[in-house]
């Protein structure tokens, strides 16, 4: 988190719904320039989530900070 948001606090939410697993990471930091640029970042996350049939959205929050949200489909198992 410090690499991209500077000093900030973050909230991670995991929720299992009828349409899949929902993951949310939100911070309240200011965007910071990343000097390394060696990772795959949001593009890599989006590719991985899409590979499993999910969706990823990311962007600045209106109140400041940044949000990343992913939904991954999870097959529902019916008990007999």
- Cα→Cα distances 27→41, 49, 54, Å: 16, 20, 22
- 13-62: per-residue pLDDT in tens? 999 988 899 999 999 987 655 555 556 789 999 999 999 999 999 999 99
**pTM here?**
0.74
**Position of tokens 């940044």?**
66
- At residue 66, does pLDDT exceed 80? yes
As a whole number, mean pLDDT of residues 4-13 equals 78
CB within 8 A of 33, min separation 6: which ones?
A: none
The β-bridge relationship of strands 66-72 and 20-27 is antiparallel
- What percent of the residues of the chain are helix, what percent strand, and what percent coil, each to the nearest 5? 20, 35, 45
């Amino acid at each position: 988190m410090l690499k991209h948001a500077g000093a900030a606090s973050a909230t991670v939410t995991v929720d299992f719904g009828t349409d899949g697993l929902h993951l949310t990471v939100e911070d309240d930091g200011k965007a910071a320039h990343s000097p390394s640029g060696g990772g795959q970042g949001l593009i890599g996350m989006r590719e991985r989530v899409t590979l499993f049939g999910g969706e990823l959205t990311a962007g600045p929050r209106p109140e400041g900070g940044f949000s990343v949200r992913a939904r991954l489909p999870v097959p529902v198992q019916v008990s007999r």
